[in-house]
Amino acid sequence: MKSLISRIALPLLALALLMAACGPTLKIRHRDPTHSRVNVYVGDEQVGRVRFGKQLRVRLERGAHVVRATPEDRDDNPWADDGDGWHIVLDKEAIITLLPPTDEWP
């Protein structure tokens, strides 16, 4: 009986852990050399910090979120038109790439 339980329980546990790790993901790619570090917020909670040339992965629940990225020395989001944030609906994956202002492109 113990062997039967271990044969069933261990694969179920492994499957549950795998499913938990494969939830919806938000990726923030920082490609703007004018800011070395950026703080990333989902709602009012800071979920991480990303350096220039790197990316940040955040696992979130499916649904609507407000995402904001602010340079360390500022409170506004220079990549959003209104300076606030982006309203996203996350199902599987969302990717936001932070690029330099268009007048600074080569």
pLDDT tens digit at each of 106 positions of the chain: 556 566 677 676 666 655 555 679 999 999 999 999 999 999 999 999 999 999 999 999 999 999 999 999 888 888 988 778 899 999 999 999 999 877 655 5
Question: Measuring CA to CA, how many Å separate 66 from each of 42, 46, 76, 88?
Answer: 6, 12, 14, 6
Q: Exposure of 67 by Cβ count < 10 A (0-12 exposed, 13-18 middle, 19+ buried)? A: buried
pLDDT of 20 reads 55
Could you tell me the fold of the domain covering 23-104? Immunoglobulin-like (2.60.40)
CA distance 102 to 49: 24
Question: Measuring CA to CA, how many Å separate 41 from each of 23, 27, 85, 86, 101?
Answer: 19, 12, 9, 11, 21
Which backbone phi and psi does 27 adopt, to 5 degrees?
-115, 130
**Residue 66, Cβ neighbours under 10 Å: how many?**
13
Which one-letter DSSP state was computed for residue 14?
H
Residue spans of the domains in the chain: they are: 23-104
pTM of the predicted structure, to 2 decimals: 0.74
pLDDT of 87 reads 93
Contact between 34 and 40 (Cβ < 8 Å): no
What 3-state class would DSSP assign to 85?
coil
